[in-house]
């Protein structure tokens, strides 16, 4: 029985930016008695199913964006006699869909780390169940990834997870429902071992693939203190101390090792935390800005974010501490007006953020927005290619509708057009070159320009347009510039690197 693990994708770029971590975690969770799993990331190239034999297991992880391709792969694999098992966020939310449309024998709901072994044993014994309720795995049981199976020259950045879950409840995000609101912080030793393994192999850039790296805010701790909730106060304080311990140990890694993460804007309230990030060489963070007005933030239940001038000040604090920001903005919110696009573009520039993404609001399954939107569409929603709008991810890619919310004053076309214009403005060569002043050497500036252009091609063009000719052009272009980018980020392997012992302890 061979085990295949597939990350489905309609578009293959030849090389990837960030390693899809789940593939290598499930590879780590696969008992050695089944041999090394065959790991297939279709963002590199599509699966060749001719090698799949009856009795093999094909595990497919899906999110909403790649669910349809996942169902195609699952159906084809089942036709070859394989056991097909689905997991991932989308399968957790819609297990029946994978069973009905994806050829699934089984669906795992929740984290696969621990249950995967049982699913494989059940397949081997011919008693596979249609549904496995895995729930949330505790942090001490998170499985380390099998990085030895990863092709070194195909990815720019590796990915390591330090925490799952997020205490917030943004309306457009499913993380707090699928991963829970209780942050599960991974023990520092386990995180450090994985990072060192990656640096040994020559990865010097590691994405900390966390839902929210600032898992405990100072404000949370102050609230617990004010409520005289000693137990909660002690728990949060210990979690915060563990974050600092992790960052102190990261600081002891070779000087060329750098990190990126995902964090809430609240971290700007905490200079000690930002200082520790700088020391740990966490050079960049994706920050969900979403909207630049208080009304927009209210639309998405994110009133803990700053707006206007306050937003500019908070974002600059990150940069002042050496943390570059990839700001994420949402367009098409009910309070947006035509002028919002230009104002957002201008504020994005004023903040000094290094990268930005501008995405049209989409009601993703598992979110508050989706539940509200689905209800508003009534029992018989409009259809495209026979698919109800409320199941938009099942539409053929070229017919997929991009904007799903009726907007009070703008059409879907207008929102798409204005969103594209903001991408064009932010990623014009002149503006990219100006932002490239954040790095010194010509080599680094060149890398910066390439990555900026690549980012734009991969995420703006392929994400916003449905026209297949333009999509293929973007993919070709991305393939062309992605290869030199991989080389720019590679480092000399350090096979003898030791895990830092952790002499330093911080506040
Ligand atoms: S958008 Fe970010 S802050 Fe909001 S719930 Fe999701 S992970 Fe948490």
Work out which ligand 1 atom sits closest to the CA atom of 302: 4
Work out which ligand 1 atom sits closest to the CA atom of 175: 6
**Which residue in this structure is represented by tokens 């997870």?**
161
In angstroms, the CA 277 to CA 322 distance is 8
Q: Which of 167, 169, 172, 173 to mutate to test the pocket of ligand 1 (most atoms within 8 A of CB)?
A: 173
Structure tokens at 41: 């990331």
The answer to whether 103 and 74 are in contact (CB under 8 A) is yes
Structure tokens at 15: 């090389």
- Ramachandran sector of residue 322 (left: φ over 0; alpha: ψ -120 to 50; beta: rest): left
The answer to whether 95 and 119 are in contact (CB under 8 A) is no
Give the E-state strand segments of 8-118 in sequence order: 16-18, 38-41, 57-61, 83-87, 106-110
In angstroms, the CA 401 to CA 393 distance is 9
Record the pTM.
Answer: 0.88
**Which residue in this structure is represented by tokens 């006699």?**
81
The closest residue, in CA terms, to atom 4 on ligand 1 is 170
Q: Which of 161, 167, 170 to mutate to test the pocket of ligand 1 (most atoms within 8 A of CB)?
A: 170
Cα distances from 42 to residues 31, 39, 401, 444, in angstroms, run 24, 10, 23, 29
**How far is the centre of ligand 1, averaged over its atoms, from the C-alpha of 169 (Å)?**
6
Closest CA to 108 of 118, 100, 65: 118
**How far is the centre of ligand 1, averaged over its atoms, from the C-alpha of 8 (Å)?**
25
List the pLDDT tens digit at each of the 507 positions of the chain. Answer: 999 999 999 888 788 888 899 999 999 999 999 999 999 999 998 999 999 999 999 999 999 989 999 999 999 999 999 999 999 999 999 999 999 999 999 999 999 999 999 999 999 999 999 999 999 999 999 999 999 999 888 888 899 999 999 999 999 999 999 999 999 999 999 999 999 999 999 999 999 999 899 999 999 999 999 998 899 999 999 999 999 999 999 999 999 999 999 999 999 999 999 999 999 999 999 999 999 999 999 999 999 999 999 999 999 999 999 999 999 999 999 999 999 999 999 999 999 999 999 998 888 899 999 999 999 989 999 898 899 989 989 998 888 776 567 899 999 889 989 999 999 999 999 999 999 998 888 988 988 898 888 778 766 654 444 444 544 555 555 566 566 677 778 889 999 999 998 764 443
Pocket of ligand 1 (CB under 6 A): 166, 168-170, 173, 175-176, 211-212, 264, 288
Closest CA to 452 of 432, 468, 481: 432
In angstroms, the CA 107 to CA 86 distance is 5
In angstroms, the CA 457 to CA 474 distance is 6
The distance from CA 485 to its chain's CA centroid, rounded to whole angstroms, is 20
Q: Which of 176, 299, 366, 369 to mutate to test the pocket of ligand 1 (most atoms within 8 A of CB)?
A: 176
Structure tokens at 173: 């995000």
**Which residue in this structure is represented by tokens 């499930």?**
26
Work out which ligand 1 atom sits closest to the CA atom of 174: 6
Structure tokens at 214: 């600032």
The distance from CA 440 to its chain's CA centroid, rounded to whole angstroms, is 29
The closest residue, in CA terms, to atom 3 on ligand 1 is 168
**How far is the centre of ligand 1, averaged over its atoms, from the C-alpha of 176 (Å)?**
7
Other beta carbons less than 10 A from residue 380's beta carbon = 7
**How far is the centre of ligand 1, averaged over its atoms, from the C-alpha of 165 (Å)?**
9
The closest residue, in CA terms, to atom 6 on ligand 1 is 173
> What is residue 214's three-state secondary structure?
coil
Q: Which helix (H) or strand (E) holds 283?
A: strand 282-290
**How far is the centre of ligand 1, averaged over its atoms, from the C-alpha of 233 (Å)?**
22
Rg of the chain, C-alpha, whole Å: 22
């Amino acid at each position: 029985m061979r085990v295949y693990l597939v990350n489905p994708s309609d578009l293959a770029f030849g090389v990837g930016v960030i390693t899809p971590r789940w593939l290598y975690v499930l590879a780590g969770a696969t008992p050695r008695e089944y041999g090394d799993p065959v790991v297939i990331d279709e963002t590199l190239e599509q699966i060749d199913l001719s090698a799949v034999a009856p009795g093999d297991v094909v595990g497919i992880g899906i999110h909403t964006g790649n669910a349809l391709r996942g169902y195609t792969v699952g159906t084809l694999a089942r036709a070859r006699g394989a056991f097909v098992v689905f997991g991932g966020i989308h399968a957790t939310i819609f297990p029946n869909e994978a069973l009905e449309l994806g050829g699934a024998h089984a669906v795992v709901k929740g984290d696969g780390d621990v249950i995967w072994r049982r699913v494989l044993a059940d397949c081997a014994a011919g008693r596979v169940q249609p549904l496995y309720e895995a729930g949330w795995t505790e942090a001490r049981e998170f499985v380390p990834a099998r990085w030895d199976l990863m092709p070194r020259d195909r990815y720019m950045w590796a990915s390591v997870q330090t925490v799952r879950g997020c205490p917030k409840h943004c309306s457009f995000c499913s993380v707090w429902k699928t991963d829970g609101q209780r942050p599960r912080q991974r023990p520092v030793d386990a995180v450090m071992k994985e990072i060192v393994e990656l640096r040994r192999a020559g990865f010097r850039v590691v994405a900390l693939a966390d839902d929210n790296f600032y898992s405990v805010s100072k404000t949370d701790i102050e609230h617990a203190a004010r409520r005289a909730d000693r137990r909660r106060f002690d728990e949060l304080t210990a979690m915060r101390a563990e974050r600092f311990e992790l960052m102190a140990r990261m600081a002891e890694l070779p000087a060329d090792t750098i990190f990126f993460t995902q964090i809430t804007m609240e971290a700007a309230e905490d200079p000690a935390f930002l200082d520790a990030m700088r020391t740990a060489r966490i050079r960049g963070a994706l920050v969900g800005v979403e909207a630049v007005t208080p009304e927009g933030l209210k639309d998405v239940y994110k009133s803990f974010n700053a707006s206007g001038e306050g937003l500019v000040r908070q974002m600059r604090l990150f940069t002042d501490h050496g943390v570059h920001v990839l700001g994420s903005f949402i367009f098409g919110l009910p309070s947006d007006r035509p002028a919002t696009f230009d104002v957002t573009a201008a504020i994005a520039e004023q903040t000094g953020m290094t990268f930005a993404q501008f995405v049209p609001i989409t009601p993703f399954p598992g979110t508050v927005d989706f539940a509200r939107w689905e209800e508003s569409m009534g029992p018989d929603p409009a259809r495209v290619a026979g698919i109800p709008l409320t199941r938009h991810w099942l539409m053929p890619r070229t017919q997929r509708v991009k904007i799903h919310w009726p907007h009070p004053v703008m059409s879907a076309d207008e929102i798409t057009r204005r969103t594209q214009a903001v991408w064009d403005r932010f990623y014009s060569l002149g503006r990219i070159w100006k932002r490239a002043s954040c790095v010194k050497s010509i080599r680094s500036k060149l890398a910066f320009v390439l990555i900026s252009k690549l980012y734009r091609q991969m995420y703006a063009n392929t994400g916003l347009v449905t026209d297949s000719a333009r999509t293929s052009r973007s993919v070709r272009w991305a393939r062309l510039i992605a290869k030199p980018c991989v080389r720019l980020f590679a480092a000399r392997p350090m096979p003898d690197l030791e895990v830092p012992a952790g002499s330093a302890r911080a506040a």
